[in-house]
Amino acid sequence: MIDFEIPEEDRALLDSVDRMMAREFPPEAYRAADRAHETPWHLLPRMGELGLLGLPFPAQYGGMEKDWRSVALVNERLAYHAGIASTLFATTVSFGGMSLLTYASEAQKNRWLPELIQGQARFALALTESGAGSDAAALTTHARRTSEGWRIQGRKIWISNADAAHHLVVVCRTTAGSTGGSGISLLLVPRHTPGITMTPLEKLGHHCMPSWDIGFDDVLVPEDALLGEEGQGFKHVLSTLHYSRAGQAANSVGQAQRAVELARDYAQQRTQFGRPIANFQAIQHKLADMQVRVNQARLCLYQLAWLIATQRPCRLEGAQAKLVASETFQYVTREGMQIMASSGYAMESDMQRMWRDAGLFTFGEGTSEIQRNLIAREMGL
């Protein structure tokens, strides 16, 4: 049975998150970073100092050996304070750390996991291409083995935080003539390797998380750049999707809860027709529906975290948590904008930023339609 009581150790962790965020990245700093399109990279070493980045990892690499329930709680609390903090945490732990722990060689684990856990190593997953989004296996970027190592040719697009990454995890074809998910490998490519070009992409939201168009023109990396087994790269990526979906769900839940509270507080202060608008039933019902939706999403997240922690199958629950939480985040920010009206629409409002950012969660790392397809498949349809 799932126990919803938060252990004392986790309560202490959450308190440390609250103190860190208040000190290192208060709301006014987040607003300034969003306006300047700057990423608060200084948060990663602070997370490392608190042990947050090492939560699910073995002690031999500097980890804390906590299970995914602790990871989900911390991720949600970070998102409550600042969505970008949750993004930095989740991509580091899921895309970087859990990928290394799941399929990297022991030498690669010993080399990279301690630095990652300390907040000193940054990785970006270079998967998406102009013709390979939801159909990720349609990628065409390829690498051929030579006497010098691997030579990579191709292009990736919408790769988050790539310019500031120390390494790109490049998903590419290494078997000539292969199609679909076969013949794909992962290569660990240092960011400043000759032949890599990067162009920033303008976008509506997530201004603290830059996205990049990346070209690979005969990029040479050594033979030992291979991450995991040759030809098994697509399976490797799929094997860790439940971690990234849990991260997306936690981020959505944390920010959605913050949006509900912003709208509630505004409604209690805003007066129309001689009384606070929170006294009007129409507003009360909006806020009630918003909170119910967040609670439903949180239950899906906690169920997924429990399944991961107890090493149970969770393909359906991973897709479900990502779907419900991301659509809830979009719903509550839309309703929050309606409640706050012009005050929410003003650029100094946190609500408008979350409203802009929420859209990405329903298609980033797998669209809502793809999640529904996965759920239907798990239902035997």
| Active site amino acids | 365
- Cα 149 from chain centroid (whole Å): 32
Distance CA(71)–CA(83), nearest Å, equals 15
Secondary structure string (H, E, C) spanning 198-234: EEEECCCCCCCCCEEEEEEEEEEECHHHEECCCCEHH
Please enumerate in sequence order all residues whose Cβ is within 8 A of that of 369, keeping only pairs 6 or more positions apart, or say none: 134
Helix (H, G, I), strand (E, B) or coil at 270: coil
Distance CA(150)–CA(229), nearest Å, equals 14
Q: What's the Cα-to-Cα distance from 213 to each of 122, 133, 152, 200, 273, rounded to whole Å?
A: 18, 14, 16, 6, 52
Nearest partner of 99 among 127, 77, 76, 72, judged by Cα: 127
Distance CA(182)–CA(190), nearest Å, equals 25
Nearest partner of 248 among 180, 177, 320, 151, judged by Cα: 320
Q: How many CB atoms lie within 10 A of CB 7?
A: 13
Nearest partner of 52 among 100, 96, 124, 116, judged by Cα: 116
Please enumerate in sequence order all residues whose Cβ is within 8 A of that of 310, keeping only pairs 6 or more positions apart, or say none: none
Distance CA(52)–CA(255), nearest Å, equals 19
DSSP element (H, E) containing 289: helix 281-309
Distance CA(331)–CA(178), nearest Å, equals 41
Distance CA(328)–CA(323), nearest Å, equals 8
Tokens of 71: 């990871």
- Span between the terminal Cα atoms of the chain, in Å: 28
Q: Do 97 and 117 contact (CB within 8 A), yes or no? A: yes
